[in-house]
Structure 1
Amino acid sequence: MTTDVGTFVESWQEWHTGQEGRIGDPHGFLAITELHWLGDEPERYDDAPGAWSTGPDGVRVVLAEGEELVVDGVAVHGEYSFGVIGERDSLFPVSGDAVIEVAKRGGHDILRPRHPENPLRVAYTGTPAYEPDERWAVSGRYVAFDSPRPTTVGAAVEGLQHVYDAPGQVEFELDGQELSLTVFPGHAPGSLMALFTDATSGVSTYAANRSLGIGAPDADGTVWLDFNRAVNLPCAYTDLATCPLPPAENRLPVAVEAGEKTPYERA
């Protein structure tokens, strides 16, 4: 929180530069070349070494002679088992200059090879965003549920669903309206994350979703929501993503003219 406009803008620009670096990372989601759904029968793919399958014991690969994967810094050959992968977890074995993401999404084991030379990544020139404005940075109050609520949401992939345990909601005022967002656990311990749409969705921002990270609540439940740092999910750039959609109650009736806009790749 700051009342110094220059510091506020400088902080946002530093954040935005870091965000662009993450998006354009050589092994980021723009480098994904295909989304493979693993099944019981071993199957080979053009963009990954080995024959891949999944079953009760988890994901396994059988590498042919001359093929290699590097797992946690150790070269593996022949047959290798990754075991059972947790929901929303990912493993990243290395193959040459590529990373072969092995993951579970919506209860399904998937393979998403990431090649730095993928045209989508090579052609990436940046994501448009609204100019930072302090009016879109507001305080709110976190209200915990009596117990986490299992919340099922749709996904960018038709027929797929994600289930999150929502610990509570955040209440706040924006553009003169009293609003709230159901929140899910964030990446950092104690932090929160909100998936949402608003009146700009499908107009100047990506139609399906945006995400807002929220720091851990203070002892009295106070949180800080900076919509200038609302970001696109990978599905805004590529059809090879399985991103979750916001819960129905997170469709804000105001136009949040802040944060990242629709990527050029979708425009």
Structure 2
Amino acid sequence: MTTQNTDLDTFVDEWEQWHAAHERALADPHGFLAVTSLRWLTPEPERFPDAPGAWSSDEDGVAVRLDDGEELVVDGETVRGHHRFGVVAERASLLAQAGDAVIEIAKRGGHDILRPRHPDHKLRRDYTHTPAYAPDPRWALTGRYLPFEAPRPVTVGAAVEGLEHVYDAPGEIEFETDDGSTHRLTAFDGSRPGSLLVLFTDATSGVTTYAANRALAVATPDADGRVLVDFNRATNLPCAYTDLATCPLPPTENRLPIAVEAGEKIPYERAGSR
């Protein structure tokens, strides 16, 4: 076996391990596939069939009033009667246990929402896997991080009509494809300090990949600003699977004119609605 073949085998094996871990996280008993509804809270207390209590939201934050026989577990403590969660920060989520379900209390686009998550939800129960392009080293590109002098607020749309998200963009990522063309993508902060996240569409969007968006996590740039832009690890956001998500859409400048034939494809759950 040649060194080149060995390197390819290693590349494929590492991708398969990464994607298997990603699939396990997606199918978690209380992951996004377990969400049974999306509720927009108002000052008027309201009961929902998939969550205990009557829920409301006002200037003091989110509150729930539990009837006799109803309870939640919040931060390891059992709560009954009236409980106030307080003001939830934008893009933050609080979780309360209700039997084998988890109730997510969150704020998205300035609105307090409730998303119950039930492990036996049909979408999660029937989930098998997400199709993806075969891993290809040609789509693992070396890019360059170009930081802004100061983070720039960027307003983007959302999977929910009428909702907007505002993110601070610390900079751009520039990369070149094998046809010699150069592209730049606006980057947001990633899940780990120093890491980056890119939301994008491309010429495959709505054809073989999900139309609205895909996401790509990028590790912290090295001392020279180099980053690995590995489109093989482009993933779907929750809105690719369910209408109960408030996912952000890519900024206009992140609509690539090229066909990125790498990463996750349209989920089987959405195969009939491209």
Q: Is the shorter-chain TM-score for this pair beyond 0.5, marking a shared fold?
A: yes
Equivalent residue in structure 1 for 2:248, among 221, 244, 251: 244
Aligned partner of 1:197 in structure 2 is: 201
What is residue 76 of structure 1 aligned with on the other side? 79
> Matched residues in 2 for 1:190 and 1:68: separation?
40
Q: How big is the shift at 1:149?
A: 0.6
Deviations 1:117-158 (A, max 9, x none): 101111111100000000000111101111111000000000
Q: Structure 2: where are the runs of 5+ without partners?
A: none
Q: Which of residues 114, 129, 134 is equivalent to 1:131? A: 134
Provide the aligned C-alpha RMSD in A: 1.0
Q: Which runs of 4+ in 1 moved over 6 A?
A: none
Residue 255 of structure 2 corresponds to residue 254 of structure 1: no
**Quick one: which of 223, 244, 250 aligns to 1:219?**
223
Aligned to 1:173: 176
Alignment of 1:146-185 (within 5 A): 146-176=149-179, 177-185=181-189
User: Distance in 2 between the 1:20 and 1:171 partners?
Assistant: 29
16, 40, 48: which is aligned to 2:43?
A: 40
Q: Distance in 2 between matches of 1:166 and 1:84?
A: 25
Gaps of at least 5 residues in structure 1 are none
Q: CA deviation at 1:175?
A: 3.5
Q: Which amino acid aligns with 2:237?
A: L
Assess if the C-alpha contact under 8 Å between 1:59 and 1:81 holds in 2. yes
TM-score, scaled to structure 1 = 0.98
> What letter matches 1:52 in structure 2?
W
Q: Is 1:7 matched with 2:14?
A: no
Give the Cα separation in 2 of the matches to 1:175 and 1:109.
45
Tell me which amino acid in the other structure corresponds to 2:118: H
Q: Distance in 2 between matches of 1:51 and 1:167?
A: 40
Number of equivalent positions: 266
Partner amino acid, structure 1, of 2:205 = S
Identity %: 68
User: Which residue of structure 1 lines up, in the alignment, with residue 56 of structure 2?
Assistant: 53
1:144 alignment counterpart? 147
